[in-house]
Amino acid sequence: MTDERSSKLLHDLRSKCSSLKSAAELYKDCSPAEKKEMLALMKQAAFEISAALEKLGSGA
Amino acid sequence: MEKLNILVLEDDKLAQKIMAAQLTGHKLDMAGDLKSALGYLSRERYDIGFFDLMLGPDDDYSGLKAIKAAAEKGLYCVVVSSSDSEDVIDRAYELGARDFYAKGNEESNVADIIRKFVQNRRLDAGTDVFESAFVTEDEETRAAVTEALRYAPTDLPVMILGPSGTGKTSLARIIHDRSGRPGSFVAINCSAYTEDLLEAELFGHKKGAFTGAGEARKGRLLEAHKGTLFLDEIGTMSPNMQMKMLKAIEEKTFHPLGSERAETSDFRIISATLEDPKELIARGRMRFDLFQRVQGYTLKLKPLAERPADLFPLIRHFTKGGRRLSFTAEARAMMQEYKWPGNAREVKKFVDLVCCGPEGRIDGVIAGRHLKPRGFAPAVIEAAPASPAAAAPRPACGDGDELYALAMKDGLQAALDKVAEEIILRNLAGNGGKRTKTMADLKISTRMLYSVLKKNDDGGADD
């Protein structure tokens, strides 16, 4: 994996992790409907984080 | 809250959701890619835009192109990104970004950005602050105040320097009003209290903490929670009190007198002093660490004598909604010549006095009558001066603040000598320079009179 590719992947990881952290902080103040939507988006983000980690691992 | 038109460029769905939650109450358009953002920008008008830079893992910072387009349309562009490369940050600013925040703390960052944007836009929109809240036409003063107000919506401490009556408290209140802080503006003049009383006033006390403390009392620090604590004449605090205050400022916690339980207060500090803080530090009267803590942004207000263009705007301001006054050329000349040592506060007193008089048209006699007790002597100006010291319009006796500052600087005797000198010269000016009359009026010795005259370079003239 090139340095540039690795750098972009790490940027994406940082970004998704930050969003997940912010979402966790917001979660308790959401309405039940919003919680459901938020949870789905958080799961998706976690899945993407996992996929990015796989890519990072396979490229190392 | 002012409703803003906001554009957000963010490809990540979860990040979109978070931004939307932080921007509730505003009109919001959410673009997920560059094309969509450019489309919104061509169709709508926005106040502020939040831009992510890398739109997807394979994107080449296409958010920068949106910033360029948005900045050209006059948007206030804010980058919210996980990018931390210096190159990317520099490019974003070069293309027109006004602010750059790291992702991950949107709850406080977005609120801060909006608060600062609204306050600064209000400031840029007009000069209303200089027409009502802080009246001045002096360009230098306007620039200094405008710059200070840019720091209003931040937590930065502000230190205001300047002589008594120049508007330090008014400016502190304006800064608080524009800070967006939800708490109160709490002002305290540190010179008005002894050390023990100041501590009780600032920190509060429990019932029975000291003789006379019949009831528990909340201190000013607690009253200023989420608001602003204005410490006027901070240089008069004792070293011991300065140390306690420093601790309270740094830790935002303190113990009320007689209490073992610490109280917490989130206050912003604005301080003022009429003395030079560097001199106070050099003389050991101000702790350097406290100065470092409270100085933040520092500005100095000029005395009215150095901004004469402000005199009549101030008079118009003080008579607004009430009796309108007109001044003859002679009255105007006398007022312009007078030094107004009490600054705007003295102008207000003068206006109150002339407004209560029978005439709305103020001539030299009326103006002189009200300026004379403050040291102006129109009769001496009209007559041939008996001596230079007698002829010169005398400034007022230093007011309480100035005399106090002089006493603290050079000792009590120096302040008392100053008062005596002012009274002698004023009397001399009032009686046309007749020294024997002055000695009789004031019941003073020849030696005392001549020591004052010598000091004022007037030892040679005679009755």
ipTM entry: 0.89
What residue type is assigned to position B384 of the chain?
A
Judge whether B5-122 and B129-300 match in fold: yes
Contact B348, B334 (CB under 8 A): no
Check CB contact under 8 Å for A8 and B106. no
> Which of B10-19, B164-173, B353-362 is the least confident region?
B353-362
Alpha helices (H) in B340-377, listed in sequence order? 343-355, 364-371
Mean pLDDT taken over chain B: 84
* pLDDT of res. B367: 85
What does R_g of chain A's alpha carbons equal in angstroms? 14
Q: To which CATH superfamily is domain B129-300 assigned?
A: P-loop containing nucleotide triphosphate hydrolases (3.40.50.300)
d(CA B100, CA B77): 9
What is the model's pTM?
Answer: 0.61
Whether the per-residue pLDDT at B127 is higher than 70: the answer is no
A residues 1-60 closer than 8 Å to B (CB): 8-9, 11-12, 14-16, 18-23, 25-26, 37-38, 41-42, 44-45, 52
Crossing angle for the helix pair B343-355 and B364-371, nearest 10 degrees? 130
DSSP A16-45: HHHHHHHHHHHHTTS-HHHHHHHHHHHHHH
What residue type is assigned to position B12 of the chain?
D
Read off the pLDDT of each residue in B126-139 and give the average, rounded to a whole number.
80
Contact B362, B353 (CB under 8 A): no
- Residues of B in CB contact (< 8 Å) with A are 12-15, 17-18, 21, 52, 54, 56-59, 81-83, 102-107
Phi and psi, residue B169, nearest 5°:
-65, -40
Residue among B10, B17, B108 with most chain A CBs within 10 A, to mutate: B17
Contact B129, B123 (CB under 8 A): yes
Nearest Cα to Cα of residue B445 among B453, B403, B415: B453
Check CB contact under 8 Å for B82 and A18. yes
Structural element, H or E, at residue B27: strand B27-31
The closest CB to that of B82, out of A14, A25, A45, belongs to A14
The closest CB to that of B14, out of A9, A25, A41, belongs to A41
Measure B56 CA to nearest chain A CA, in Å.
7
* pLDDT of res. B396: 45
The domain spans of chain B are 5-122, 129-300, 308-376, 381-463
> Which residues in chain A have Cβ-Cβ distances shorter than 8 Å to B107?
22, 25-26
Check CB contact under 8 Å for B14 and A18. no
d(CA B141, CA B134): 10
Read off the pLDDT of each residue in B76-103 and give the average, rounded to a whole number.
87
Check CB contact under 8 Å for A15 and B106. no
What percent of chain B has pLDDT above 90? 41
What does R_g of chain B's alpha carbons equal in angstroms? 29
| pLDDT tens readout for residues B177-235 | 888 888 999 999 998 888 888 999 999 988 877 777 778 888 999 999 999 999 999 98
d(CA B135, CA B106): 38
| β-bridge pairing B185-189 and B297-300 | unpaired
| pLDDT tens readout for residues B32-81 | 999 999 999 999 999 999 999 988 877 888 899 999 999 998 899 999 88
Q: Which CATH number fits domain B5-122: 3.20.20.70, 3.40.50.2300, 3.40.50.360, 1.10.486.10?
A: 3.40.50.2300
d(CA B178, CA B150): 9
CATH fold of B308-376: Helicase, Ruva Protein; domain 3 (1.10.8)
d(CA B235, CA B284): 10
Measure A60 CA to nearest chain B CA, in Å.
17
The closest CB to that of A15, out of B58, B103, B105, belongs to B103
Measure A7 CA to nearest chain B CA, in Å.
10
What percent of chain B has pLDDT above 70? 90
Contact B242, B286 (CB under 8 A): yes
Which residues, other chains included, contact B411 with Cβ-Cβ below 8 Å and sequence gap of 6+? none
DSSP B78-99: EEEES---HHHHHHHHHHTEEE
- Token digits for B192? 């008005």
What residue type is assigned to position B400 of the chain?
G
